[in-house]
Structure formats: C-alpha cells, structure tokens
Amino acid sequence: MLAFTLLAGVAFLARDVLGEGVHLLNCRSFGEASSDHTFLSIVAYCADDANCSSVGYNIPANDACVVSSSTAYEDWHQWEGGSQSCTFASTGVTFTWDIPSNAQSLPNYSSVRTGSNGFKTFGGYKDDSLNGANYNYHSCIKKYYYV
C-alpha cells in the first residue's frame, strides 16, 4: 500500500513538471441559471500541462476538441469503457484513449492506461478534482489527464 501511495504522489507531482499534457474535461456554461446552458465534454491539449489545472486559464479553441455538447442537465460524455478518440480540427491530430470501465471507482491519480496523439504516448491518470481550466465561457472539471 505504501508503494501505491508513493507512486500516486509521484504521478500527482509529475503532472506539473513534465511539460505538455492532455486533459479530459467536463464543462458547464457560466451563468448556468439561465435557460441557455450547455454541457460540454472536451479533450484539451496544454503545451504547459499546469495550465490545464489552472482555474484562471482559458483553453484556446485550437487546443480543444469537443467530444460532446448537450443542453440536458449534466449530460456528460462517457469517457470510460472502450477505445475512443477525438480529432483536433485545427491540426488534424487525433488523440486516442482507452479508459477502463471501472476507472471512476479508482482513487484519484490512479493509472487509467495510456493515451496517444500518434507522435507520443502519454500516461493516463484519474483526477476528478474540482479544479480545471475554462473553455469558451464554460468552467471545466477534470476527469482524467495524460502526461
């Protein structure tokens, strides 16, 4: 158990010093009390991974791939259970992942397999913390990240 705790701690600390990262985020529109709310699930690329964890950071449209959009309350994309992908329109780069179906039952910072953009393989981790960047007038909550 101590080894797992140490490994999880190293993974948590490493995410801010390893450079680029990819985050899977669920986002809700600002001013949700209005009738025009939308719920987005996006894949966000951050050249500086720490930005994707910063509440004050706005993800540029070129660095986001929208996986789903819904006006139904908290109708998020199902990130887990099978191979999935999203292609960034601005670059044509496709990010792929395969999160185990039981991943949400794992502790934060647990490994959830790898993801790839075709150029690099990233280690994936669960992190359903409340912090996350903003995207297109939406506040985002991290579900998983890849570094």
User: Using one digit for the tens of pLDDT, what is the confidence trace for 52-61?
Assistant: 988 889 999 9
Q: Are 139 and 30 in contact (CB under 8 A)?
A: yes
> Distance (Å, rounded) from C-alpha 73 to C-alpha 78?
15
Average pLDDT for the chain: 87
| Tokens representing residue 102 in the block | 């039981």
Question: Could you read off the pLDDT of 79-130 as tens digits, one per residue?
Answer: 999 999 999 999 999 999 999 999 999 999 999 999 999 999 999 999 987 7
Residue with tokens 């701690």: 9
Q: Report whether pLDDT(4) > 50.
A: no
Helix (H) or strand (E) holding 125: strand 121-126
Residues 107, 95: Cα–Cα separation, whole Å: 24
Over the stretch 30-70, which tens digit does the pLDDT of each residue have? 875 555 689 999 999 999 999 998 888 999 999 999 999 99
Determine the residue type at 57: Y
